[in-house]
Amino acid sequence: MSGRLAFVNPEIALFAGTCVVMVLGLSRTFRTRKASAWVAGAAIVVAGFLAWFSTPSLSEAVCPITGHLFSEPVTASQGQMLLPEMVPFAKTMIAAVGLMLLLAMAGTVDRADEERIAAGRATFDPLRSNRAEFYAFFLFSLTGLMLTASADDLIWLFLALELTSLPTYIMVAISTSRNRSREAAVKYFFLGALGAAVFLYGFTLIYGGTGSTNLNEIASSFREHGISTLAMAGVLMSLLGLAFKIAAVPMHYYTPDVYEGAAPQVSGFLAFVPKAAGFIAILLLTAAVGWEYAGGAVGVNSLMASDAPEALRQVAGGKQLPEVLRLTLWVMAALTMTVGNVLAVLQTSVKRILAYSSIAHSGYMLVGVIAGPVGDTFTRNGVAAVLFYLLAYGVTSAGTFAVLAALERSRDRSGEPGEVEHLHDIRGLCASHPALGWAFVICNLSLLGLPPLLGFFGKLPLFTAGIAAGEIPLVVILGVNSAIGAYYYLRLAFTPFLEKPEDDAEPVAAAPFRSRAVAAVASAAVVLALSAFGGRAMVMSLNAAKYRPSPLPLEVKHDVNGEPAAHDVAGVERAPDDFHE
Amino acid sequence: MLSQEHITGHAATAIDEGGMLTMLVPALTILAVVLCGLFAAMRVKNKAPAFVTVALLAASFVAVLMTYLNLGVEKTWIAHGFDWINFSWSGSENRKLTTHALIANFSFYLDGLTILWMLFVTGLGTLIALYASEYMSHDVGAGYCRFFAAFSLFVFSMACLVMADNFLLLYLGWEGVGLCSYLLIGYFYKKPSAVAAAKKAFIVNRIGDLFLALGIMLIYTHFGSLEYTTVFAQTETYIEALKEGNLEVIPATVQLIPLLLMGGAFGKSAQLPLYVWLPDAMEGPTPVSALIHAATMVTAGVFLVARTYPLFLLSEHALPAVAWIGALTAFFSATIGMAQFDIKRIMAYSTVSQLGYMFCGLGVLTSVGGAFHVFTHAFFKAMLFLACGAVMHGFAGQLDLRKLSGVGFMRGWKVTTVAMLVGCLNLAGFPIITSGYWSKDMILGEAFANPHTQAIGWILLLTAGLTAYYTFRVFFRVFVGPVQYEMGDEHHGAHEDAHGHGEATHAPAHATHATPHAPGWAINTVLAVLAISAFAIIPFTYSHGGWVHTMIEGSTARYEGAAAYLGHGEHAHGTFLGFEAHGALMVVSGIVGAIGIVIAWWLHYAGRTTAATSRADALLPKLGPIPRWAQHKWYVDEFYDFLIVRPLWVLSNIFHFIDQYIVDGIVDLFGAAPSLTGKAVRPSQSGELHSYAAWMAGGMAVLILIVILVAT
């Protein structure tokens, strides 16, 4: 069990941070309250370091902070995972993007109250303060996300997904004092519950079909006995439910309303965290099914013409998902990117454009899921492409939303500063706020996928992996959609520096929280840095996509106490040979 | 003079890891760029950017010098900075599994050639930055920062170009220097002629760069690597075959590579037919002309040929082509230089002409001679430009040699005049006491020593005479003779308040510059240092290139005795009119140079009483239209305009019409599709919770239905 705990060290660090933050945020003195954000940041940094240094190496690795030797217990549990190397990559990425999002969160809640307290017109009332909850929920959500990455069991997966999502509902609700936020939160909550119900139903069907909740055992069962109709229906339902997390068609309806209702920094959070959770969960499920089935056809059109029963036969030994799943994901991907892009074209609100575009990005990434980890290079491996795209999208969208968060218009009647929302609000931004303006331009050009920038290097492997997997029609749809995406992304990128604000336009001011601007500029800098020197990250994502198609039979038997019995026999130092590869 | 045993049969040089000190050069120069940027952001209004740049460039020079002193050039050193691009993938060709890799690290390849180039790039860079600190003083403020930032960025890019250990980094540096050149030519961006010149330089260079890029791609496709070590290891085998006379074993692809690289070299080094940008590039500030467009960047083409010399040896036509183009350029631009009146342009044409000499040196198989001439030329040409710049600075932009006379006899111009004289003597190749004489002689001698290149030798010899004439035409007209001058019309306009003369309010702008002002300490120091070093390098280099020879013989530019097709075997010794070529040329080239000087003296100095007229004026009408044509640069610009620019303009208008009305129409039609679709789908986004839930449930149902219908 201690091995297992070492495995979730980053989550433990985050949770410890959460507890501290919850207490600190209720302090009477402003300085202590303010420290809660710093503690949250420290917790994320520690979690990131733990994730990176404790889990990656399959051989002996000593955690620099605790001095704990991670070699053996960790490998034992990693050895059972289908995507064993994904965990450290995903968690480190989560910590990195999370840190950037945290920077943008400064001053989201309690702003008016704190101002009154600072002016001496009010005293601190713990019951009215939201700060503690806000940062605690932020960390909870990240904890859930990291737990999703470590999941090897359906129950764990469900709990982790819900731990990711539940705090976000509240974060949306308290992110501004407007009714719009509350309305958004209610919609998000109810629809989220609907989505959760669907994939939970799917999970139960999988359990019904295989008799196990352990992903590894499920995978073995699929391999040995084939996929029963019941289990297939379960996987299908799970994917449809998880589509809510990634905002894929047909579960995407909430996205624009929720993004618009929440404060921009929280929208940035929603653009990354639930999406990452959804994709990690989808990857885990599809990895359990495996990309080893022969499809009789290339592309959906030829599939329709082909002999239908043959498509169901699902011969093992090929290089794709079972035809039913492939088709579901195919349709979902094509619809998601198309719907996201065409609706984004019509919008004039920056937040709504970004919301629809985030739907489209999910559609792009689904192409990587369909292609699967079959290729052995970065440009042919769909899973590596998805992981790298998550990183690229997370960093870039955090920057875009941080720019919006770092700006504000004059206060409305309720005393809440107006949000920068409409396209005409960002006109001439490069002249009035050069750092923010150029960060916005860079991030949007990267999201568009303009060649020298990070977004291009993210999108390219999706194309090539799709082609390598033979999904030519889908790749064509992806290309057409990228072109449509260019329409609104270029508008977003060029409005700040080509257009001049109208004379009577209300001026846009910088929000009094410098860390938001820091987040924006930092993420633009990371985009540029990864554009130039992203090779290492690509190699890491390729490594993270290492897929173990036929996982080891469960050598480590669990005794009644839940302790892996093999350790007692083999001794702590000796790891099974297979883990040294 | 340069006999075969000096240059043949050199075994491949050993390669070792080391020389990390050179990593300081890019680090320090990029630091200078950043600091200049910070100064600009802080609105610094003093000379801090200049002195930071000078200090950091001097430190870079010391780093290179230390590397040279510590490591020597017996071995080739690879300094590995960091992994930059490293992809590998496998594929199947003809059912065989093959592995490919694309490796281009940020690593440096340090052989004699690299060190030689880096020594004068960083050394001259330091001196010229010091000079510029005074020269650009009228622009203190944002412009000053911009100037020095671009200046440092140039040295950075040049360092990448020269020290790269692979073709990709070289290409990066190549484009980097092109960019900096563009930025600095267009430094006075409010002046339309400067902007036009910058664009011209950039676009003409693009043509060359296209060839370079194609050459590099071909290198990669053929040799499977971009790293010098791998590529040159493979050329060794070809060269062995060549030594045995098996020319036919070399694939046509490989023979094409040097021709493509040559195109790139001719663009950057301003050779026919791509030389047109360099004279116009004189629109930039003079220190830029001195460093970039005389001493360093324009020799990048020569460097490229020297660096890839093993590849050039593999083609039957590459080196002869290099030699011929070089010779024709040398002669052609010398004739234009003779008829110009703008002294900076004369120097520009002489640069083009001297670059032609360098290519000839490489082309007639004396890579040592080529490199030697690059080295000496860097000193004396930088000095000439800086002296011209001092005149331009002092006389408010006056550059017309008909409006300046007797500058040397004015107060405070002694150093400039002496420097100019030294530079002119070097450029004219005055015998024995000038380094320019020794380096030029080496190329001339080698051209005549090879019976196949005698014609080139004659062209070069004639050019040497023309060079001496037009060089001393400038000296006799501007620096000696009766004191007479007319100020230029450049009165540092809006920058008057920031002018380096002092903080006190000036009289109206015209009054300030009614009198010339002599150069200050920075300009004089730099000129003096350069003048001394132009002499100081003679003892180290005069015999067979001496020190330069030791630098080149261990480098990639060594001559392997492979190019037997050039008739340069042991038995074929060409002569100069029956005399041993090298010995005879030492005398003859000296005489030719002296004749040129004497003619210039007689036409432009003897008996001249005014600045504007000279004895040559009487002579001109007798030559018919030729002087006028030469003055109009043989109408090459007009010819290019007619042949290339106009047709392209017409074509682009046609395409514009097609694009505007036909293609755009179709695109608009398609462009409407997404928004129409969007409008159709939009009603489902009603904002109502229950309808969303219904749509979601319905959507799931439809999706499952589709799957069931299609898959079963």
Subunit contact B707:A187, Cβ cutoff 8 A: no
Subunit contact B698:A250, Cβ cutoff 8 A: yes
Predicted local distance difference test score (pLDDT) of residue A245: 94
Chain B hits for A332, CB-CB cut-off 8 Å, are 703
Spatial distance between the Cα atoms of A96 and A98, rounded to a whole number of angstroms: 5
Subunit contact B689:A327, Cβ cutoff 8 A: no
Mean pLDDT, rounded, for B20-32: 92
Per-residue pLDDT at B503 exceeds 70: no
Predicted local distance difference test score (pLDDT) of residue B315: 85
Choice between A178 and B8, residue whose per-residue pLDDT is larger = A178
Spatial distance between the Cα atoms of A389 and A538, rounded to a whole number of angstroms: 10
Tens-place pLDDT, residues B519-543: 888 888 999 998 998 888 888 877 7
Subunit contact B90:A376, Cβ cutoff 8 A: yes
Contacts of B614 (CB under 8 A, 6+ apart): B477, B603, B604, B605, B608
Chain B hits for A191, CB-CB cut-off 8 Å, are 689, 692-693, 696
Residues of chain A contacting B, Cβ within 8 Å: 186-187, 190-191, 194-195, 198, 236, 240, 244, 249-251, 253-254, 256-257, 300, 303-304, 308-309, 311-312, 323-324, 327-328, 331-332, 338-339, 341-343, 345-346, 376-379, 484, 487, 533, 535
Share of chain B above pLDDT 70, in %: 91
Tens-place pLDDT, residues B277-334: 998 888 888 888 888 888 889 999 999 999 999 898 888 888 889 999 999 999 999 9
Tens-place pLDDT, residues B541-563: 777 778 888 888 878 888 766 55
Tens-place pLDDT, residues B340-357: 888 889 999 999 999 999
Tens-place pLDDT, residues A229-252: 899 999 999 999 999 999 998 899
Interface probe with A: pick from B685, B695, B705, most Cβ of A within 10 Å:
B685
Task: Give me the residue from A311, A378, A484 closest to B711, CB to CB.
Answer: A311
Tens-place pLDDT, residues B227-265: 999 898 888 888 888 777 777 778 888 889 999 999 999
Question: Given CA atoms A106, A112, A113, A116 in this order, what sign does their dihedral have?
Answer: positive
pLDDT band, very low/low/confident/very high, at B86 (cuts 50, 70, 90): confident
Taking CA atoms, what residue in B is nearest to A344? B678
Choice between B70 and B452, residue whose per-residue pLDDT is larger = B70
CA-based nearest distance A421→chain B, Å: 18
Predicted local distance difference test score (pLDDT) of residue B502: 37
Share of chain B above pLDDT 90, in %: 32
Residue B80 phi/psi, 5-degree rounding, is -95, 115
Chain B hits for A378, CB-CB cut-off 8 Å, are 87
Tens-place pLDDT, residues A64-85: 333 344 444 344 444 456 787 8
* SS3 sequence of A341-376: HHHHHHCCEHHHHHHHHHHHHHHHHHHHHHHCCCCC
Predicted local distance difference test score (pLDDT) of residue A206: 94
Subunit contact B700:A187, Cβ cutoff 8 A: no
| Residue B511, Cβ density class (10 Å: 0-12 exposed, 13-18 middle, ≥19 buried) | exposed
Long-range contacts of range A188-193, CB-CB < 8 Å, 24 or more positions apart?
A: A188/A254, A188/A258, A190/B689, A190/B693, A191/A244, A191/A251, A191/A253, A191/A254, A191/B689, A191/B692, A191/B693, A191/B696, A192/A165, A192/A244, A192/A254
Mean pLDDT of chain B: 84
CB distance from B675 to chain A under 8 Å? yes
Taking CA atoms, what residue in A is nearest to B685? A253
Chain A hits for B711, CB-CB cut-off 8 Å, are 308, 311-312, 323-324, 327
CB distance from B682 to chain A under 8 Å? yes
Q: Which two tokens stand for residue B205?
A: 């260079």
Tens-place pLDDT, residues B376-424: 999 899 999 999 988 888 888 888 888 888 888 888 888 899 999 999 9
CA-based nearest distance A433→chain B, Å: 14
CB distance from B687 to chain A under 8 Å? yes
Task: Give me the residue from A254, A346, A533 closest to B679, CB to CB.
Answer: A346
Contacts of A537 (CB under 8 A, 6+ apart): A388, A391, A530
Subunit contact A342:B696, Cβ cutoff 8 A: no
Residue A62 phi/psi, 5-degree rounding, is -105, 130
Q: Which helix H or strand E contains A174, and what residues bound it? A: helix A154-174
Spatial distance between the Cα atoms of A257 and B687, rounded to a whole number of angstroms: 7
Tens-place pLDDT, residues B617-636: 777 788 878 888 888 888 88
Subunit contact A331:B86, Cβ cutoff 8 A: no
Interface probe with B: pick from A343, A467, A533, most Cβ of B within 10 Å:
A343
Per-residue pLDDT at B82 exceeds 60: yes
Taking CA atoms, what residue in B is nearest to A468? B91
CB distance from B698 to chain A under 8 Å? yes
Choice between A389 and B105, residue whose per-residue pLDDT is larger = A389
Mark the ranges of chain A whose per-residue pLDDT is less than 50. Answer: 1, 56-79, 296-314, 551-581
Taking CA atoms, what residue in B is nearest to A297? B711
Subunit contact B711:A332, Cβ cutoff 8 A: no
Given a contact cutoff of 8 angstroms between Cβ atoms, the answer to whether A88 and A51 are in contact is yes
Subunit contact B702:A250, Cβ cutoff 8 A: yes
Tens-place pLDDT, residues B172-182: 999 999 999 99
For residue B656, which amino acid is it? H
Given a contact cutoff of 8 angstroms between Cβ atoms, the answer to whether A388 and A458 are in contact is yes
CB distance from B99 to chain A under 8 Å? no
How many beta-carbon pairs below 8 A join chains A and B? Answer: 97
Predicted local distance difference test score (pLDDT) of residue B484: 84
Q: How many CA atoms lie within 13 Å of A52's alpha carbon, on the beta-carbon side?
A: 15
Predicted local distance difference test score (pLDDT) of residue A468: 87
CA-based nearest distance B703→chain A, Å: 7
> Which among B318, B112, B279 has a CA at the least distance from the CA of B631?
B279
Alpha helices by DSSP H, A449-578: 454-468, 472-498, 514-533, 535-544, 565-570
Predicted local distance difference test score (pLDDT) of residue B238: 84
Chain A hits for B703, CB-CB cut-off 8 Å, are 240, 250, 328, 331-332
Predicted local distance difference test score (pLDDT) of residue B564: 52
- Classified as helix, coil or strand, B543 is coil
Taking CA atoms, what residue in A is nearest to B99? A377
Spatial distance between the Cα atoms of A199 and B402, rounded to a whole number of angstroms: 90
Task: Give me the residue from B83, B687, B699 closest to A249, CB to CB.
Answer: B699
Q: How many CA atoms lie within 13 Å of B340's alpha carbon, on the beta-carbon side?
A: 23
Predicted local distance difference test score (pLDDT) of residue A407: 92
CA-based nearest distance A542→chain B, Å: 12
Subunit contact B695:A253, Cβ cutoff 8 A: yes
Taking CA atoms, what residue in B is nearest to A381? B89
For residue B74, which amino acid is it? E
Residue whose token pair is 């992809």: B87
Interface probe with A: pick from B707, B709, B712, most Cβ of A within 10 Å:
B707
Subunit contact A186:B687, Cβ cutoff 8 A: no
Distance of CA B27 to the CA centre of its chain: 22
CA-based nearest distance A445→chain B, Å: 20
Taking CA atoms, what residue in B is nearest to A345? B675
CA-based nearest distance A394→chain B, Å: 24
Subunit contact B678:A345, Cβ cutoff 8 A: yes
Residue A532 phi/psi, 5-degree rounding, is -85, -40
Counting every residue written for chain B, the total comes to: 712
Chain B hits for A376, CB-CB cut-off 8 Å, are 90
The domain ranges of chain A are 2-579
Tens-place pLDDT, residues B133-156: 888 888 888 889 999 999 999 999
